[in-house]
Structure 1
Amino acid sequence: MRPCRGYIPLVCLFWREGRRSPMARNKYPEETVRRILDVAEELFMTRGYERTTMADIVGGLGGLTKGAVYHHFKSKDEVFEAVFERANRPVVERSDAIVADPSLTGLEKLRALDEASASGPSAEMWAAMRPSADPVKSARILAREYQDVLETAHAYVEPAIREGVEDGSIRCEHPRETAEVLLVIANLWMVPLFNPVASEEEFAARVEVFLKVAQALGIDLVDWESIDPSRVIRDAWAPFSGQGEQDTSEASGAGEETAGGAREMQPGVGGGNR
């Protein structure tokens, strides 16, 4: 799977970076849980989250009883979260190493976290599973996402910002609040699945606004000399370009696929060179 570059992987990283309790993850028989998650992931990827039921998951397990499945996961939402947690473990491990690396500046750590996200759950995976954009239908997932965002901000982004302030690579007066704001924007407002957009151009506008907000808060997330902004936008938008083809019952106001091109983003807009 082709990794994103530049800003966009931060969104991939922060979508599911929030860490679960190790006890909750390890108290179930490992092989049974693996089988459940394997079947669930395949169903979510082929049918989508909305069209997959717990009965479908039980039916694909070849003899495992409904009671056994519900012993491990009380709802489809819990299974969905566990699928992404499992896929995201390499990102968590790499992110832990980045934050602990004394050779990196704070800004370098933020950009390294950006790169590390390429090894975790991708935009393609999330888009294929298609949780509903309707906040009522996806209330539990959205609530968990918000909690994960704050956990990620405090565990990874805030420490990197504070180090950046100390070493001079970042200018920021409120590290904790800045980390929270940036991740809420990146993971809830920017993500087309939670806040649908109709075209690549509209998505590009969100990215531009986000980068301007980050710069205003003292953080240059993008190294403009090393990326092609238009390609970054195209690659990040591609998994979501078919939103308009979804059943309208899944997401109110889902965007339609268009041929709109990304607006060219210039160095200095949202993340200019120093």
Structure 2
Amino acid sequence: MARNKYPELTVERILDAATELFFEKGYENTTIQDIIDALDGLSKGAIYHHFKSKEEIIIAVTERMNRQMDDQLFEIKNQRGLTGLEKLRKFLILAIENPKQQEFAKAMPNLLKNPKFLALQLKSSIYDIAVKVIEPLIREGIEDGTIKTDYPKELSQTIILLINIWLNPFVFYCTEEELNRKYLFLQSLMEGINVPIFGDENLAHLKQLRNFSKE
């Protein structure tokens, strides 16, 4: 059998097809056979050569989407003319209001019922977003005087865990009233420590995301 000279292109084809199917049908309702059928000319063996299971495919899809999101976050981080606090607010808007969130929400399995995916979310939150994006913005805000805290590392981790886990309707499903109370509490909490990053406009987008979440 001829060796595939461009395995990275094959992986991208698989991920492209899987992403489209996950968005259209959801992870739970997509089968490996669906992915094979969408890849004209690619055999089941070729898929299993790169991915041992559908679970491995969704993990790779998630990591690729996270990398795309990281590029946008670093654009904010490197933007000139904004204070650390203003950049932190822009990051929050991107994190909550990104239109890809709704599509991604439909694609993902229920996180509480899938510990591996929840663990990936936690790992990405702490080691990628908090360390690489939020903490540097907080330190920038400390330097320019717009943020006052003696705990930039701890604050960055707290913010992202509250947003990505506690406030995330795909982790903890909640009613609209419960979501309102959570958001208002978080808004009050951040204002109480002089980091007012949550605006009222963000809540409407959170409510839209909640409508895609799964009990």
The match for 1:176 is 153
The match for 2:19 is 41
CA contact (8 A) 1:123 1:236 kept: no
The match for 1:190 is 167
CA contact (8 A) 1:87 1:120 kept: no
Equivalences, count:
209
The match for 2:115 is 139
Compared with structure 1, are the counterparts of its residues 76 and 214 closer, same or farther at alpha carbon in structure 2 (3 Å cutoff)? farther
Going by fraction, where is helix more abundant, 1 or 2? 2
Deviates more, 1:231-240 or 1:38-47: 231-240
The match for 1:238 is 208
Secondary structure of 2:122's counterpart equals helix
CA contact (8 A) 2:31 2:54 kept: yes
CA contact (8 A) 2:97 2:205 kept: no
Compared with structure 1, are the counterparts of its residues 100 and 238 closer, same or farther at alpha carbon in structure 2 (3 Å cutoff)? closer
Identical-pair percentage: 35
Secondary structure of 2:69's counterpart equals helix
Secondary structure of 1:233's counterpart equals helix
Q: What pairs with 1:19-38 in structure 2 (closer than 5 Å)?
A: 29-38=7-16
Q: What pairs with 1:92-111 in structure 2 (closer than 5 Å)?
A: 92-111=70-89
- Structure 2: 5+ residue stretches without partners: 1-5
Aligned letter for 1:72? H
Structure 1 residue 118: Cα displacement: 7.2
Aligned partners of 2:55, 2:195: CA distance in 1, in Å? 35
Is 1:157 equivalent to 2:134 in the alignment? yes
- Structure 1: 5+ residue stretches without partners: 1-27, 247-253, 255-274
Aligned partners of 1:81, 1:212: CA distance in 2, in Å? 35
Structure 1 residue 99: Cα displacement: 1.9
CA contact (8 A) 1:178 1:217 kept: no
Aligned letter for 2:204? R
Deviations 1:12-40 (A, max 9, x none): xxxxxxxxxxxxxxxx7332122211221
The match for 1:207 is 183
Structure 1 residue 70: Cα displacement: 2.4
CA contact (8 A) 1:77 1:140 kept: no
CA contact (8 A) 2:15 2:61 kept: yes
